[in-house]
Amino acid sequence: MKSDYEGLQRNIRKIKTPGIEVWVNQYPDKIYTISLDIPEFTCICPKTGLPDFADIKIDYRPQKYCAELKSLKYYMNFYRNIGIFHEHVINKIMEDFVAACKPRWVRITGDFNPRGGIKTTVTREYKRK
């Protein structure tokens, strides 16, 4: 079964997402970790058009900037109507998060609910050089 979402995967890196706003970290000289948990993430399966549900976890070590949570919530809600594979959504979130926050280090994990008896977990890490 083909869906209208399939064509999106070829250009997923170019999809226009809402911006993730930041605020200035007053402790850029300190190494500490911020953990964010988005337990109600949803997107659309590009094959079936059915909703996918996940718990997205973001652990990061800020440098100059920290993620502003209201804009991050709007950013995550954007995916609600987007047909995107699990692997693509985690990579896209990583690209956008790194571009906005410029962290020292970040790990993003998507723990997706089982679909067809298969549970998917996708993790990506980034470390500033």
Domain ranges across the chain: 24-127
Pairing of strands 105-115, 51-61: antiparallel
| Candidates 43, 52, 66, 101; catalytic one | 52
Annotation says 4 is catalytic? no
Annotation says 52 is catalytic? yes
The CA-CA-CA angle for residues 36, 38, 41, to 5°, reads: 155
pLDDT band at 91 (very low <50, low <70, confident <90, very high): very high
Six-digit token pair at 109?
């994990």
pLDDT band at 6 (very low <50, low <70, confident <90, very high): low
| Candidates 45, 59, 96, 111; catalytic one | 45
The pLDDT value recorded for residue 5 is: 56
- What pTM does this model have? 0.92
CA dihedral for 37, 7, 87, 113, sign (positive or negative): positive
Task: Tell me which residue of 118, 92, 94 sits closest to 107, measured CA to CA.
Answer: 94
CATH code that applies to domain 24-127: 3.30.1130.10
